[in-house]
Structure 1
Amino acid sequence: MARQSSESSRSASSRPTKKAEQVEEELDAVEDVDAEVDDDADLEDDANLDEEDGGSERSAQADALWSDVKIEPIELALPKGVGYTLRAYRLSTELTPTQVEEEEDDFAILHRRPQDEEDDRVVILENAELFEDEEPEPVAASKKKPAKKRADDAADEDSDKTDEAAELDESKKSDTSEKAEESDKESAEEADEEADEAEEEDEEEEEAEPEEVPAFLSHHGKLLLFRSVEGLVEFVKSDAEHDLTQLDTWESLKTRITASSVVPTDENHYELDLVVENLRGGQDAWDTDLLLAAGEVARDLAYALRLEPVRTALAAGSPLDDLDEGLRAAAAGGVGGFFAKRRLKKIGAQQTALGWRTIIGKISAAVDWRD
C-alpha cells in the first residue's frame, strides 16, 4: 500500500509539470504570432513613410542606369505644382544652346523712328492763285554813271576778286594739309585699335577653355516638366524634339528607362515653392539647405534656358549671391562662420524675398507643364 501511494503521488506531481509545459508552449506560439503581426505593421508603416517622402529608395540597377548615361532625374516644386524632368552636365563645346523664341515687343511702337521718305500725297488747294509767286515790280532805272567812274569800279571789283581767289587758294591748301594730317592720325589710331582688338580676341580665345555647363529636358527655351513619372518615361521613349537629343547617351536612355528607375536622389529635390515663405520668416528661420539648393537649380535653369534676368539677379556680387555666400560660410562654422552670421543679419529679409519671388516667377513662366 505504501508503494502504491508513492507512485500515485509521483504521477500527481508530474501532471502539473506537463500542463505548465503546454501552457508555456502556447504562450510562445502566441508571442511568435504577435511578433509577425508587429513586423508586418512596421513594414506597412515604412511603406507609408516612403510614400509620404516621395517614393522608395533607388535600386542599384537604377543607379547603374543613370551613372552610365550621365543624366539625372530631378524633382522640382513650383507654386503651380511638383514635376519631374531631366538634367545633364556636359562641356560647353559639346552642347548647342537652346533656341529661344523671340517675344514680341509690346513697346516697339515707342522705339520707331520717323520715316525719312518723301511725302507723295497730292494736296489740292482752293484759290490757288493766292499762293502763286508774285513777280517783283521793276525797279526804277537810276541815273547812268560816268564812263570813268564805271571803269574804276570795274577795276576795283577785279582786284577784289583776285584777292579773294588768292585767299581761297591758300585756305584750300591749308585745309587739304590739315585734312591729310587728320586722316593720317585717324588711320594710325584705327590701326592701333585694330591691333588692340586682335590682341584682346587672342587673349579671350586662349582664356575661353571649355567648362561644364547644365542642360535640361527643354525645347525652345521652355523647361518640359512632367506631373507624373509615367508621363516623363513616355515622352523620353518618343521621337519628340528637345535639347537633350544631342547627348551621345540619349539613345541608350530611351531603351533602358523605366518608371521604377525615375527616382530622384535627395540632392535632386528642389522646393522653390517654399523659398519666399522661408525668407520672410527672418534670419533665424532661414533654411540653409533649402536656400542653397534653390540657388543651385535656379542658376542652372537660368543658363540652360537663357533667362538673362535670373542670371543677372544671381550673378557674382549681387545681393542674392551674397546671401548664398553668407549661408555657406555660416554653415561651415568657425570664425568665418561667426562673421558670416553677423553679415547675414544685415541682409533685408523682405528685399531677398522680393528678389526670389521675381526669380521664381521668371522660371515658372519658362515651364511647359506636361501630364
Structure 2
Amino acid sequence: MARQSPNRPDADKPEPDLEIDEDLDEAGDEIDDDEIEEEAATSRSTSSGSSALWADTKIDPVEIALPSGVGYTLRAYRLSTSLTPTDIGDREEEDLFAAKAKHAVPDEDDDTVVILDDDFPSEEDEEDEDDETSRRGKHARTEDAEEPSAEDFEDEEEEEAAEDVPVFLSHRGRLLLFKSPESLVTFVRSGAPNDLAQVEGWADLVERIQPADVAPSDEDSYELDLVVENLRGGHDTWDFNLLIEAGEAARDLSYALRLNPVLTALAPGSPLDDLDEALRAAAGGGLGAFRGRRRLKKIGAQQASLGWRTIIGKISAAVDWRD
C-alpha cells in the first residue's frame, strides 16, 4: 500500500462551508443594523418627547454661561397680569417696582371722608350751571343703551396694559442655576418654592420632566461670559449675534429678578440700548447694515465693555448656584 505524501492535502478532509460563513456575516450585519436603527428610534422618540413636553407646558429649558460657570434653568413667558413678581424683600437696593408703588394713590379707609373745596360750589357757579343747562334745553344728549360703560373702558385698558413678560426658575429675587440636568430635575420634583410654580403648566412639567429633556436649543443658550472679552477686542471683532442674544437674556433676567440697575442700564435711549440697536441694524443686512456699522464705529469699545461688565456683575450676584 502506497504511503500518502505529507505535502499532499488530505483528500478526506471536508472543505470549509463558505455559505455558512456568509450567512453568519449577513446575520451579524443585520444585528448591527437593527441595533443602530433601534438607537436612532430611541433618540428620535426622546427628542420628540422633549419637544412635546415644552410645547405642552410652554416652559423652556435655558442654558446660561457666566464667568462663574455654566448652568441650566427654566423660563416661561406669561401675561404680566397673571404673575406675582418675585419677592425681593431681602434685597437692600432700591427696586423700580417698589418706587412705582410709592407714587400710587393709596386706598382710603372706608370710614375716611375727604372733603375738597370743589365739593361746595359757590352761588355764582350754581347760577352759571343753571344757565348752561337751560341753553342746552332739548338738545341735551341722551345716553345710548349700547354705549360702552366705564367698566368696559377699564377692562379694555387692562387688556392693553397686559403683555407677555418673562418668569424664570427663581426664588426671592435670585435665579436658580443648576450645574447638571439631573440636579435641576431633582429640584423641580422636590416641590420647593419657586416663582415658576405659579404658572399654568407647572404641575404637568413636574410629573413628566426627565434629565434627558433638559437640552436647551441654540436660541435658548446664552454666553454671557464672553460678552466683555468680545467687546474689548474692538469693533472689527464684535460678534453681533453673541451681543444681541446677551442683551435679550439680560433684559429678561433683569425684569424677572427685578434688577433695577440693569433695567436702567438697558432702558431705551441708554448707551447700551443704542449699541443694541446698532448691532441689530448691522446684522440685518442691506443698506441698514452699512448704517449700523457706521453707528457702531461711533460707540466706544471701552465704554461698552465697562457697561456690560457691570451688568454681568449684577446678574452674577443674583444667582443661586445649585449642584
Q: TM-score range by the shorter chain?
A: 0.5 to 0.7
Counterpart mapping for 1:14-93 below 5 A: 59-93=47-81
Secondary structure of the residue aligned to 2:78 is strand
Offset, 1:209? 2.1
Q: 1:180-230: CA deviations, max 9, x gaps?
A: xxx979x99xxxxxxxxxxxxx8x946852100000000000000001110
Secondary structure of the residue aligned to 2:86 is coil
Offset, 1:103? 3.5
1:97 aligns with 2:85: yes
Q: 1:300-333: CA deviations, max 9, x gaps?
A: 0000000010001011111111111111111112
1:243 counterpart residue number = 195
CA distance in 1, matches of 2:202, 2:47: 21
Counterpart mapping for 1:144-293 below 5 A: 205=157, 208-293=160-245
CA distance in 2, matches of 1:94, 1:184: 40
1:354 aligns with 2:306: yes
Amino acid at match of 2:71: G
Contact 1:233 1:258 in 2 (8 A): yes
Offset, 1:101? 2.4
Q: 1:41-72: CA deviations, max 9, x gaps?
A: xx9xxxxxxxxxxxx99711100110000000
Contact 1:57 1:263 in 2 (8 A): no
TM-score between the two structures when normalised by the length of structure 2: 0.67
CA distance in 2, matches of 1:57, 1:270: 27
Counterpart of 2:279 (choices 314, 322, 327) is: 327
Q: CA RMSD in A?
A: 3.2
CA distance in 1, matches of 2:117, 2:60: 61
Amino acid at match of 2:294: R
Counterpart of 1:295 (choices 242, 247, 267) is: 247
CA distance 1:242–1:334, change in 2 (3 Å): same
CA distance in 1, matches of 2:303, 2:45: 38
Amino acid at match of 2:81: T
Q: 1:268-295: CA deviations, max 9, x gaps?
A: 1100000000000001100011001100
CA distance 1:283–1:64, change in 2 (3 Å): same
CA distance in 2, matches of 1:102, 1:60: 41
CA distance in 2, matches of 1:357, 1:346: 20
Amino acid at match of 1:69: T
CA distance 1:250–1:206, change in 2 (3 Å): closer
Contact 1:58 1:263 in 2 (8 A): no
CA distance in 1, matches of 2:53, 2:206: 11
CA distance in 1, matches of 2:296, 2:159: 35
Secondary structure of the residue aligned to 1:254 is helix
Q: Report how many aligned residue pairs link the two structures.
A: 235
Offset, 1:338? 1.0
Amino acid at match of 2:289: G
Instruction: Decide which moves more: 327-336 or 227-236.
Output: 327-336
CA distance 1:252–1:315, change in 2 (3 Å): same
- More helix by percentage: 1
1:14 counterpart residue number = none
TM-score between the two structures when normalised by the length of structure 1: 0.58
CA distance in 2, matches of 1:273, 1:95: 30
CA distance in 2, matches of 1:347, 1:89: 32
Secondary structure of the residue aligned to 1:90 is strand
Secondary structure of the residue aligned to 1:315 is coil
CA distance in 1, matches of 2:295, 2:64: 30
CA distance in 2, matches of 1:70, 1:103: 30
Secondary structure of the residue aligned to 2:161 is coil
CA distance in 2, matches of 1:98, 1:370: 19
Amino acid at match of 2:295: R
CA distance in 2, matches of 1:86, 1:319: 30
CA distance 1:104–1:216, change in 2 (3 Å): closer
Contact 1:302 1:308 in 2 (8 A): yes
1:339 counterpart residue number = 291
Secondary structure of the residue aligned to 1:295 is helix
Contact 1:330 1:337 in 2 (8 A): yes
CA distance in 2, matches of 1:281, 1:57: 43
In structure 1, the gaps of 5 or more residues are 1-24, 44-55, 106-182, 189-201
CA distance 1:213–1:103, change in 2 (3 Å): closer
Contact 1:75 1:264 in 2 (8 A): yes
Amino acid at match of 2:262: V
CA distance 1:315–1:66, change in 2 (3 Å): same
Contact 1:272 1:294 in 2 (8 A): yes
Contact 1:87 1:215 in 2 (8 A): yes
Secondary structure of the residue aligned to 1:59 is helix
